[in-house]
Homo-oligomer: A and B are copies of this chain.
Amino acid sequence: MRISTRGQYGLRAMCRLVLLQRAGGSGPVSLRDIAEKEDISSQYLEQLFRGLRGAGLVESVRGAKGGYILARPPEEISVADILRAVEGPIAPVECVESDSVDACCDRKDYCMTREAWIRLRDSMVETLDSINLADLCKPGELGRGSTC
């Protein structure tokens, strides 16, 4: 029951992007800068930012002095958004990925445990939807945001 490093790094990278963007004016932030601050390989970050870009959470600027910028204000980017972008659907078991009725498991209709997974998924989604980047990067509170 662990978040993969994709999810962990993805969230850290996005927080760092907020901080660097806040500190460095309006220009894009390069992955190299994020990588350095967060001690994550910049090549791995490239992979993650593919997903983030694909999900419309960041926009890219190619070429020298290029990098990434948030596509929306940090208040409008939730942790759930980021996790879905780099890790896929938030679901503890396959059969609750969506509410659609496609056949992933033939026990679905009479399964005793599925209700538990549905409730787990819902509480996870609710929690992760309720936390956004602005919350996490708020300076001054608990030392958070102070590593910039």
The reply on A136 being an interface residue by CB < 8 A is: yes
Is A35 an interface residue, CB under 8 A from the partner? Answer: no
**Do residues A3 and B112 form an inter-chain contact, with CB atoms below 8 A?**
no
Cα of A126 to Cα of B2 in the assembled complex, Å: 17
Q: Mark A80-91, 1 if CB is under 8 A from B, else 0.
A: 000100010011
When C-beta atoms are compared, the residue in chain B nearest to A120 turns out to be B127
Q: Do A120 and B115 touch (CB < 8 A)? A: no
- The 8 Å CB contact of A87, one of B1, B124, B126, B131, is B1
Closest CB in chain B relative to A116 CB, distance in Å: 5
Given contacts A93-B8, A143-B109, contact A1 B83 (CB under 8 A): yes
Residues of A whose CB lies within 8 Å of any CB of B are 1-4, 7-8, 11-12, 15, 79, 83, 87, 90-94, 109-113, 115-117, 119-120, 123-124, 126-128, 131, 136-137, 142-147
6 interchain pairs, CB-CB under 8 A: A1-B4, A1-B7, A1-B90, A12-B112, A79-B116, A109-B143
